[in-house]
Amino acid sequence: MSIKDEFATRNFSIYGQWLGILSMILCFALGIANFFNLFKPLLIIFAILALVSFFVILFVEVPLLLRICPTSSSFDAAIRKVSSNYMRAAAYGVMALVQWLSILVHTSSLIAAAVVLTLTAACYALAGVKGQAFVGSKTLGGQGVAQMIV
């Protein structure tokens, strides 16, 4: 199944997973970019939170890393709780809210991360409302290796 075929299924959890990957990339890039903002020290806190969001999204969307990387059992258990569409929507919603709050400190490029995180939360919430089961993208290892791990 190609990416085009996956998007044609109209399953919002696949849309959410791909937007989650985009969110992960944006959180990493914008977190690093805003980390060196010397004139707004409070913005550095939100940049660090964006980098923390990057690592959370990385482990949520690529569950194979829970087996590869040495992490604590409590961290593994917390990440595994974020498996349903509603839990993923809530997690992305909290991360989006944190980045939206960065506007109170200073308007920065972290808004882009907030927008994509919000769209990701909306996709997972729509998948939950429509009763669609979480379906991982085969391109990202959802149907093969990742399912054996969890």
Whole-number pLDDT of residue 63: 74
Give tens-digit pLDDT for 63-110: 777 778 787 888 888 888 888 889 999 999 999 999 999 999 888 899
Whole-number pLDDT of residue 141: 57
Whole-number pLDDT of residue 4: 60
d(C-alpha 10, C-alpha 38), whole Å: 44
Instruction: Output the DSSP codes for 55-82.
Output: HHHHHHH-THHHHHS---HHHHHHHHHT
**Contact (Cβ atoms closer than 8 angstroms) between residue 91 and residue 82:** yes
Whole-number pLDDT of residue 84: 84
Q: What is the DSSP letter of 84?
A: S
For the whole model, what pTM was predicted? 0.84
- Ranges of beta strands (E only) in 44-147 are none
- Tokens 């990416």 appear where? 3
Q: Which one, of 14, 7, 2, lies nearest residue 85 by Cα?
A: 14
Whole-number pLDDT of residue 142: 56
Whole-number pLDDT of residue 139: 62
Give tens-digit pLDDT for 132-148: 777 766 666 555 444 44
d(C-alpha 53, C-alpha 137), whole Å: 21
Residues comprising the chain, all counted: 150
Whole-number average pLDDT of the chain: 83
d(C-alpha 113, C-alpha 7), whole Å: 22
d(C-alpha 6, C-alpha 14), whole Å: 7
Whole-number pLDDT of residue 148: 45
Whole-number pLDDT of residue 147: 46
